[in-house]
Structure 1
Amino acid sequence: MTNLAAFIGAALAEIAGCFAFWAWARTNASALWLILGVASLIVFAGLLTFVDTPAAGRAYAAYGGIYVVAALVWLKLVEGVDPDRWDLSGAALCLAGMAVILYGPRAA
């Protein structure tokens, strides 16, 4: 599995899991949403283990950039709210930071 695939899958699983809790708490959705939320968050955690880096903290830090972009895609597709230029600028900065963290040259 590529890093990008692991990050995208993890982002979708994390956002869906958190949204399930949000829906239960904020919209009075059925408590069954909590089961789906927990399952989704387990998938999220598992997918991050596939990121090709020797340090877990580095994988989690780099994942942050993908998460920000995925959250804005969720905002648009699920919640029907258009991200503004500040959202998009911030996401671009996050992706740049992710690339530096994950792919920056390291001492051997």
Structure 2
Amino acid sequence: MPAYAVYSLAALAEIAGCFAFWAWLKLDKPIWWLIPGMASLALFAWLLTLIDSSAAGRAYAAYGGVYIAASLIWLWLAEGVRPDRWDLTGMVVALIGSALILAGPR
């Protein structure tokens, strides 16, 4: 599976897991929300191990750009807040950085 597909799935899993904690602590959702949230975070961690990289730190660094983009998509679709031009500019910069890390000759 291509790296960006794995990263996209990992980002969805991480954001969903973290949102479960957010919902419990900030939105007064019941504590049982943490059960699927923790499962989602475990899935996120496992997905990152599928990245073909000789160093975990490099895989995590490249993932950061995808996470930023996924977070802004979550902001818009799940929270109903439209990203502004600064959000989108930052996202593009982060994705370019991610691509440089993934595509750099080694």
TM-score (norm 1): 0.96
Q: How many angstroms apart in 2 are the aligned matches of 1:97 and 1:5?
A: 17
CA distance in 1, matches of 2:39, 2:88: 30
**Secondary structure at the residue paired with 2:94?**
helix
| Runs of 4 or more consecutive aligned structure 1 residues displaced over 3 Å after TM superposition | none
5+ unaligned residues in a row in structure 1: which ranges? none
What are structure 2's unaligned runs of at least 5 residues? none
Task: State how far apart, in whole Å, the 2-side matches of 1:66 and 1:55 are.
Answer: 18
Alignment of 1:15 onto 2:15: yes
CA RMSD of aligned residues (A): 0.6
For 1:55 and 1:20, the matched residues in 2 are separated by: 30
CA distance in 2, matches of 1:85, 1:61: 24
Q: Distance in 2 between matches of 1:4 and 1:62?
A: 9
| Percent identity (aligned) | 61
Correspondence for 1:94: 94
1: CA distance between counterparts of 2:68 and 2:27? Answer: 24
TM-score computed with the length of structure 2 as normaliser: 0.98
Counting matched residue pairs gives 106
Alignment-mate amino acid for residue 49 of structure 1: T
